[in-house]
Structure 1
C-alpha cells in the first residue's frame, strides 16, 4: 500500500511515525502520574484534574511537529503562525486534552461507584483507585472483574493486587498507544487541511480534498462509502466530517488537490 501513496502522504506518515514513540511514552507517564493522587477522599479535587490536564498537554505537544511537517508537504508556503491555523490547532489540542481528562475521570467515577455499591471499605477502595488510575472508562469493568474473580477464588490480597496492577499497567500502555495513533493522525490531517486552506487564501487556485480509505477488508461501513469522495476544502464530506478520522483508530486520510480557479 505504501507504494501507492503520494509523496505528500508518505511524508505525512513519516512525520507521525517520528513522534509516536515520544508521545506514547509521555502519555504513559502522564496517565500514571494520577496514581499517587488517588484516594476516596481526594480523587475529586479540581486541582488533581487541572494538574493532570497540564501533564497531558505537555505529553501531546510534539504532535504539532507532525502537524506542521504534514502541512509543508502539501504547500511549501505554509505558515505555522497563520492566525486561523493557530486558532484551529489550539482548539483541537484543547478538545483532545479535555476528552482524555474526561474519560480518565469517568473511569475513576466508575470504580468509586462500583466500590460503594459492593460495600468495599474506604481504605480498600483507595488502594484499588491508586492501582488503576489512568485507564479509560471502557477498561474499568474488565479490570474490576479481575479483582473480583481473584478475591472470590480465595487469592491473598497481595496476589489480587499484583494481578490488578499488571492488568492496569498493560491497559494504560494500550490506551497510550491508541491515543497516540489517533492524536497524530488527527494532527496530520489537520495540517494538510491547514495548508490547503492557506493556499486557497493566498492564491486564486481552487483547493479540494478527497477522502481515501485503505481499501481493504477492514474498512468500516462508515468510511467505505466515503472513499474517493471529493469536496471543496471548506466543505464537509457526507456525514458531516471535515476530515478523517471518522472514528477511533480510523486509517483514512485526505488528499489535497489544487486546480485553476473555476475548475471545481
Structure 2
C-alpha cells in the first residue's frame, strides 16, 4: 500500500506554523533597505515577488501542505482502486503551490509598499519610520492602510506618540495573527480539494472513471455562507474545466469552506 511520505499536519498545527512564519517576516527586511526606499521614494520597486530574493526566501510555507495533498490523493486512489503516479509532491507544487506562494508573496509586498508610501506622504524620518514599519511586514495593503489611518487619528487626538505606537503595535499583531490564520485555513482547504480533483483527473486518464465524469461544487451552508458560495452550490463542470468563477476547485475566496464531489 502506498502511503504519504510524511505525516500530514492537522489544520490547527498548520495555523500555528503560518502564524510563526508571519511574525518572522519583518526580521528578514533590512532596516537600511526600508530607510532607502522611504528616502528615495522608490517604493514600487521594493520586494518584487517575481524576482526579489527576499520574496523567494520568505514565501508562505506551502510545502508543509504536501503531505495533506498526498494523503488526500491516496485516500481517493484507494477508493477508486487506481494506480498512484510517482512524485505527488511535484504534482502539488507544479499545479498549485508555486503559483499560490507567488500570489501571497505579492500580497505581502503590496502591504509593505503601502506602509512605505504612507511614511513618504507624511514626511517621516526614514530611519525612524523603517524601524516602525519592520514590525508591520506581513499585513495586506488594506490592513496596512487601515492601521495607518488609525495611527494618524490617534496622533490627531493628541495622544502621546509612545502610547500611539503601543496601541498600533498591539492592533498590528492582532491583524497579523488573523491574516496568518486566514491564509492557513484557506490553503489547507485548497490542498484537500485539489488532492481529490487531481486524483479524479488521474483516474480518468487511467480509464478508472468514465470520461464524462464531472465535479460538483458543495457549499457549507450556515450563517457564515457568503453569496459567492451560495450561488456556486451544485454547479457542475468537467474535471479539466474551471468553475464559473475561474477556479478549478475551492476555495473561492479567503476562508472559503467549500468542497467538491465527483458526480
Normalised by the length of structure 1, the TM-score is 0.79
State the shift of 1:230 in Å. Answer: 2.9
Moved more, 47-56 or 167-176: 47-56
State the shift of 1:75 in Å. Answer: 1.6
In structure 2, relative to structure 1, the CA distance for the partners of 1:45 and 1:23 (3 Å cut) is: closer
For residues 48-81 of structure 1, what are the alpha-carbon distances to aligned partners after superposition, in whole Å with 9 as ceiling and x for unaligned?
Answer: 9423432325x22111111111112222246363
Structure 1 unaligned segments of length 5 or more: list them: 1-13, 258-264
- Residue 53 (structure 1) aligned with residue 48 (structure 2): no
For residues 109-135 of structure 1, what are the alpha-carbon distances to aligned partners after superposition, in whole Å with 9 as ceiling and x for unaligned?
Answer: 111211222222223321321231221
The one of 238, 242, 246 equivalent to 2:252 is 246
- Residue 158 (structure 1) aligned with residue 162 (structure 2): yes
Contact 2:217–2:234 (8 Å) recurs in 1: yes
State the shift of 1:22 in Å. Answer: 4.5
For residues 20-55 of structure 1, what are the alpha-carbon distances to aligned partners after superposition, in whole Å with 9 as ceiling and x for unaligned?
Answer: 235323433443434555622168366994234323
- Residue 208 (structure 1) aligned with residue 220 (structure 2): no
In structure 2, relative to structure 1, the CA distance for the partners of 1:240 and 1:143 (3 Å cut) is: closer
In structure 2, relative to structure 1, the CA distance for the partners of 1:144 and 1:197 (3 Å cut) is: same
Alpha-carbon distance in structure 2 between the residues aligned to 1:53 and 1:112: 20
Please show how residues 54-69 of structure 1 align to structure 2 within 5 Å.
Answer: 54-57=57-60, 59-69=61-71
Aligned length: 242
Contact 1:56–1:97 (8 Å) recurs in 2: yes
Secondary structure of the 1:159 match is helix
* Equivalent residue number for residue 40 of structure 1: 35
* Equivalent residue number for residue 112 of structure 2: 108
Contact 1:135–1:171 (8 Å) recurs in 2: yes
* Equivalent residue number for residue 84 of structure 2: 79
Alpha-carbon distance in structure 2 between the residues aligned to 1:169 and 1:61: 25
State the shift of 1:241 in Å. Answer: 3.0
Contact 2:28–2:54 (8 Å) recurs in 1: no
C-alpha root-mean-square deviation of aligned residues, in Å?
2.8
In structure 2, relative to structure 1, the CA distance for the partners of 1:18 and 1:168 (3 Å cut) is: closer
State the shift of 1:205 in Å. Answer: 2.0
Contact 1:210–1:230 (8 Å) recurs in 2: yes
Alpha-carbon distance in structure 1 between the residues aligned to 2:261 and 2:83: 16
State the shift of 1:159 in Å. Answer: 1.9
Secondary structure of the 1:209 match is strand
Alpha-carbon distance in structure 2 between the residues aligned to 1:78 and 1:62: 24
State the shift of 1:254 in Å. Answer: 0.5
Alpha-carbon distance in structure 2 between the residues aligned to 1:246 and 1:210: 14
State the shift of 1:196 in Å. Answer: 0.5
The one of 14, 18, 21 equivalent to 1:24 is 18
Contact 1:210–1:254 (8 Å) recurs in 2: yes
Alpha-carbon distance in structure 1 between the residues aligned to 2:223 and 2:15: 28
Please show how residues 168-247 of structure 1 align to structure 2 within 5 Å.
Answer: 168-206=172-210, 207-247=213-253
Structure 2 unaligned segments of length 5 or more: list them: 1-7, 38-42
Moved more, 99-108 or 220-229: 220-229
Please show how residues 2-21 of structure 1 align to structure 2 within 5 Å.
Answer: 17=11, 19-21=13-15
